[in-house]
Amino acid sequence: MNKKPLGNSALMLPPIMFGGNVFGWTADPVTSFRLLDALLDAGLNAIDTADAYSRWVPAHAGGESEAIIGVWLKQRGGRDKVVIASKCGLDMGPIKGQGLSKAHIVSAVEDSLVRLQTDYIDLYQAHRDDEATPLEETLEAFAQLVQQGKARVIGASNYSASRLAQALEVSRKLGLPRFESLQPLYNLAKRDAFEGELEQLCLSQNIGVINYYSLAAGFLTGKYRPDSDLSKIQRSAAVQRYANPQGFAVVAALHAQAERLNATPAQLAIAWLIARPSITAPIASATSLEQLDELVQATRLQLDSEAIEALDSAGR
């Protein structure tokens, strides 16, 4: 299975990265272990998580996803065969705090390392920009983690083009490790936030891109059509944003091309992302082995020019 380097680093990623936000939330520990075992057996060894996963669940404090991954890593072994990406910076409550100050980053990584039961994190990312903290302080803190061997590579998530460019310039001027990756919201039904200035910056500076919401919160899996019961869609705020004429045009194109290529809409939506020159590895999650198989099959699907042109046109 072909792998791509993350930016200018030596870190290699498979065609997709598994979204670990489901662990401890919509996938219990037993299911999570089965998914992780099957993921590795399929040759897909990259997992995305964060300290804030899944703090949004009642009675959760955050770190549940990392803790499940840590137990699995301890039981399965082979840490060097797995790529773990985690993030810090979101609100972790009144005691732990939030942001990208040096104090918070240094404290957050220690907590993540304990939960993950590992000595290092392959890709450690700023979960969200923190304009209240100077970029110099944030990048110097990340540089310390790299120097100590606690993070192999650093990255940014949810940064604008201007702020990412500023961060890259600060790293260049101070001789610090730079953000080698960006994690933006990007999928076939939501393209404007990434395509344009942000995408061009990543291409010109060789920044790896591991986009999230690759299946638009399930909207691109094929279960929603223009004649679907919109009252059910409207109960899901994450899906509702895509339930518009453009979104349904994308769904129609996915169904048409899936039928032509003997595939599924979900497989095509992921394969389209994999084929994008700017994308290193889209993030996608699954809560069952059947859903995971969809992701695996997507990595083996080669889209022809007709499919790419049809999906490109529908998504604009």
Point out the residues that are catalytic: 53
Helices and strands, counts by H and E, the chain: 13, 10
Distance CA 182, CA 102 (A): 20
> What's the DSSP call for residue 177?
P
**Strands of the sheet with 17-19, listed across from one edge:** 208-209, 179-183, 151-157, 121-126, 83-88, 46-48, 17-19, 283-284
CB-based contact 109:151 (threshold 8 Å): yes
Of the chain, the end-to-end C-alpha distance in Å amounts to 31
For 292, phi and psi rounded to 5 degrees? -65, -40
Least Cα distance to 9 among 116, 161, 154, 193 occurs for 154
Which neighbouring-strand residues pair with 47? Answer: 18, 84
